[in-house]
């Protein structure tokens, strides 16, 4: 009895840690996504290829890895709860940043109003685009993951992880860029290259994080004595 209580507490603690990583990654994306970078990469048969993308892309794939792990171990409902929590965290962050941007900096402040606005002054259109893309992609990721889980009877984690992540990441990349271009935050002539670069990066990360997902899920199952396909409720 005491062991079951201890396992339940440990499972909840792990859930909170995963949820915290998810929310932190998501909020980070929304804070830094306005900066874009260039990276020259040499590719066989192509030569030098200039990779252009928002720095917000860097932590964002972690959110899909976390939701896939939660979906596999804790189930679809708890994964959706984390997605919803991420939405409220982003809205709260937006309110705090907006209020902070509206206040006037003191004359001795190391960061003046113009500098603060340049870094944290999020445009309404950009935030709306990010929020809508986030909602669409994350809920699709959870739904597609469980669609493949039912179809494969809980087998082939690599297929579920990659199929759900790649599809939802394409939807996310397309949605946010389309809305940013629609509201004139980004020029339309950047749409195709940013879409291609963003999707290729996310496909690479989806393949890269598969062994990580396998390792973490194996560890969690072993720690809590879960049978194949069993979830923590």
Q: Which CATH number does the domain housing residue 154 bear?
A: 1.10.1760
Q: Kindly indicate the confidence band of residue 19, based on its pLDDT and cuts at 50, 70 and 90.
A: very high
**93 inside domain:** yes
The single-letter DSSP state of residue 154 is T
**10 inside domain:** yes
Q: Kindly indicate the confidence band of residue 222, based on its pLDDT and cuts at 50, 70 and 90.
A: confident
Planar angle of CA 135, 139, 145, nearest 5 degrees: 150
Q: How many domains does the chain have?
A: 1
**45 inside domain:** no
Most confident of 26-40, 44-58, 64-78, 128-142: 64-78
**66 inside domain:** yes
**230 inside domain:** no
What's the pLDDT score for residue 124?
59
Q: What is the mean pLDDT of residues 144-161?
A: 73
The full DSSP string for 15-54 is: HHHHHHHHHHHHHHHHHHTT-EEEEEEEETTTEEEEEEEE
**192 inside domain:** yes
Most confident of 51-55, 83-87, 154-158, 180-184: 83-87
Residue 17 pLDDT exceeds 90 = yes
Structural domain of residue 12, as residue ranges?
A: 2-35+52-99+115-224
Residue 24 pLDDT exceeds 60 = yes
Q: Contact at 8 Å (CB) between 74 and 93?
A: no
Residue 2 pLDDT exceeds 70 = no
**46 inside domain:** no
Residue spans of beta strands (DSSP E) within the chain: 36-43, 47-54
**44 inside domain:** no
159-169 pLDDT per residue, tens: 776 777 777 77
The rounded distance, in Å, linking the Cα atoms of 87 and 217 is 25
């Amino acid at each position: 009895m005491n062991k079951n209580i201890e396992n339940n507490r440990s499972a909840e603690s792990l859930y909170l840690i995963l949820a915290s990583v998810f929310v932190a990654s998501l909020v980070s994306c929304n804070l830094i996504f306005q900066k874009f970078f260039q990276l020259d990469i040499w590719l066989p048969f192509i030569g030098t290829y200039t990779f252009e993308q928002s720095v917000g892309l860097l932590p964002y794939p972690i959110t899909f890895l976390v939701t896939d792990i939660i979906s596999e171990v804790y189930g679809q409902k708890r994964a959706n709860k984390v997605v919803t929590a991420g939405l409220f965290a982003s809205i709260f962050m937006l309110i705090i940043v907006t209020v902070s941007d509206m206040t006037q900096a003191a004359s001795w402040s190391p960061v003046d109003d113009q500098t603060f606005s340049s870094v944290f002054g999020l445009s309404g259109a950009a935030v709306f685009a990010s929020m809508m893309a986030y909602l669409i992609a994350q809920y699709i990721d959870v739904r597609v993951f469980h669609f493949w889980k039912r179809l494969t009877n809980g087998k082939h984690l690599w297929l579920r992880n990659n199929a759900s992540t790649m599809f939802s990441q394409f939807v996310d990349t397309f949605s946010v860029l389309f809305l940013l271009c629609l509201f004139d935050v980004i020029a339309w002539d950047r749409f195709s290259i940013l879409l291609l670069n963003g999707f290729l990066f996310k496909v690479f990360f989806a393949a890269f994080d598969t062994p990580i997902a396998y390792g973490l899920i194996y560890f969690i199952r072993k720690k809590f004595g879960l049978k194949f396909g069993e979830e923590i409720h």
